[in-house]
Amino acid sequence: MHVKEPANDLVARLYRQLRLIRTLEEEVARVYPTDRIKSPVHLSIGQEFVSVAVCDVLRPDDHVSITYRGHAAYIAKGGDLDAMVAEMYGKAAGCAGGRGGSMHLVDMAAGVIGASAVVGTSIPVATGFALAARRRAGGSVVVCFLGDGATEEGCFAESLNFAALHRLPILFVCENNGYAIHEPLAKRWATDRLVERVATYGIPAQRIDSGDLFELRERAAEAVAAMRDGGGPAFLEVTCYRWYEHVGPNRDYDQGYRPESELAPWAETDQVARLAALLPAGERERIDAEVDRRVAAAFAFAEESPFPDPEELHDHVFA
């Protein structure tokens, strides 16, 4: 696919988002062994470009649903950074009041539908948001981020059918990193023709395996524009790779379920480094310094914020 040469302001905007997510998660990995972060963390390092490319074409009144590996999408859609880090610390100022941790990020003001630790459960919720968007008729859309493992849940098929039947404005974005926890795709699927299976529901489906942020952004922009015009749902399968372990701050290539040689081609085409190289040195350094200050401020905010009052333990408990 031919992709137009990106303008400098677009490169700068996308690079800032990539750099912010990468820096934030590297700091999470550094701090995590101190036990000051009180929840499990699922890092998206290596696959941030998916969220950044897709969210860049969205409007403030659009919504995204995110997975438990949702730091990137939360930030890319404009989620509150201070509230995100405070949530991981279990502090009262967290986006879920310190009760949910990394796997339950939410920021409705920014259009981030709450995540769930249970695989696939955000898919029907996002589909419901798309139904509401269609009934409001304001042209807003929903993007449902999901992993390849979530496509094996029954609610995925049910949501595809419902979305196609009612021509809902929802873009399903499958971040296919090739593993469901530690189980490779080849041991779970008889074929890798996911887009063909989705297409049988009457949904336009495309696979993007170039790892190219700009190609993905163009495909997402086309899909979103069609949805705003009443074109109904669309599906993008994006191949990507998580550089860190399934859950936690470490590399896990010594565990035997995947070889480190798989990482090499993805590291060589890392989109953070690629976009950095497209910018003038002075502009890149200014962005880097700004991002470093912002991430440091978010962690300082979390460190200084109080824990929730113990008397509030049973608030928001309904069962």
Contact call for residues 106 and 96 (beta carbons, < 8 A): yes
The whole-angstrom separation of Cα 221 and Cα 38 is 37
- Asked if the structure places residue 248 within a domain, the reply is yes
- Asked if the structure places residue 125 within a domain, the reply is yes
- Asked if the structure places residue 124 within a domain, the reply is yes
Tell me, what's the pLDDT at 1?
59
- Asked if the structure places residue 177 within a domain, the reply is yes
Q: What is the pTM of this model?
A: 0.96
Check which CATH number belongs to the domain holding 181 and give it. Answer: 3.40.50.970
* Mean per-residue pLDDT, 295-318: 94
Percent over 70 (pLDDT), the chain: 99
- Asked if the structure places residue 264 within a domain, the reply is no
* Mean per-residue pLDDT, 148-176: 97
- Asked if the structure places residue 291 within a domain, the reply is yes
**Cβ-based burial of 126 (10 A; exposed 0-12, middle 13-18, buried ≥19):** buried
> How many separate domains does the chain show?
1
Tell me, what's the pLDDT at 3?
62
- Asked if the structure places residue 314 within a domain, the reply is no
For residue 233, the enclosing domain spans 7-259+270-307
- Asked if the structure places residue 319 within a domain, the reply is no
The dihedral over CA atoms of 180, 184, 190, 194, expressed in degrees to the nearest 10, equals 50
Q: Is 82's pLDDT higher than 90? A: yes
Give the tens place of pLDDT for each residue, 238-280: 999 999 999 999 999 999 999 999 999 999 999 999 999 999 9
Cα separation values, 72 from 50, 77, 135, 205, Å: 9, 9, 29, 23
**Which of 103, 102, 90 has its CA nearest to residue 28?**
102
Look up residue 252 and give its two tokens.
Answer: 């896990």
